Structure 1
């Protein structure tokens, strides 16, 4: 469990069915969430 991975992400405004375009462009839509923070839509 000592390995660390760093991802380059960008915030995204595209939601719903429009994320299919992101996938065609080779991007991966995701949501970052956890205790004490608001959910954030991102693309990897």
Structure 2
């Protein structure tokens, strides 16, 4: 049971890391897009 719990924890941490990375990338892209196109196109 311990090994399974550890594996679940690692999987959860890995998935959380992926989601955080994707979120950061999306936010960064959106921020750059707003920063660059903001004055031209009001989003």
Q: Please tell me the TM-score bracket, short chain as reference.
A: under 0.3
Bigger proportion of residues as helix: 2
* Higher RCO (Cα < 8 Å, 6 or more apart): 1
Bigger proportion of residues as strand: 1
Q: TM-score, normalised by structure 2?
A: 0.19
